[in-house]
Amino acid sequence: MLIAALAALPVRAAAPAPEAAPQAATGMPQISAPIALLIDVNGGRVLFERQSHRRFVPASLTKIMTSYVAFELIKAGKLKLDQRFTMSHEAFRKWHRVGSTMFLADGSDTSVAELLEGIVTVSANDGCVVLAEGVAGNVGAFTEMMNAEAKKLGMKDTHYNTANGWMDEGETYVSAADLAILSTALITRHPDLYARFYGHERLSFRGIEQPNHNPLYGHVDGADGVKTGFTNEAGYGLVGSAIRDGRRLMMVVGGYDRPADRTRESRAFLEWGFAAFEAHPLFAQGARIGTAKVQGGEVRSVGLSAPHPLALTLPRGAGARYALSVRYKGPLRAPIAKGDEVATLVVRVPGEGETRLPLVATEAVPEAGTLARLRNGLLAMLGQ
H helix or E strand, kind and range, residue 72 = helix 63-75
> Which of these is catalytic: 52, 67, 100, 123?
123
| Beta pairing, strands 321-328 & 208-211 | unpaired
254, with CB counted inside 10 A (0-12, 13-18, 19+), is buried
Give the amino acid at 16.
P
123 is catalytic: yes
60 is catalytic: yes
> Which of these is catalytic: 60, 67, 175, 266?
60
301 is catalytic: no
Distance of CA 260 to the CA centre of its chain: 26
Query: Which residue spans within the chain are E strands per DSSP?
Result: 2-5, 12-13, 35-40, 45-50, 84-86, 109-111, 202-205, 208-211, 223-231, 235-244, 247-256, 277-283, 288-295, 301-305, 310-315, 321-328, 332-333, 341-349, 353-361
Which residue from 315, 155, 339, 313 is spatially nearest to 249, judged by alpha carbons?
313
> Which of these is catalytic: 63, 67, 100, 227?
63
The span from the CA of 289 to the CA of 272, in Å, is 31
Q: Which residues are catalytic?
A: 60, 63, 123
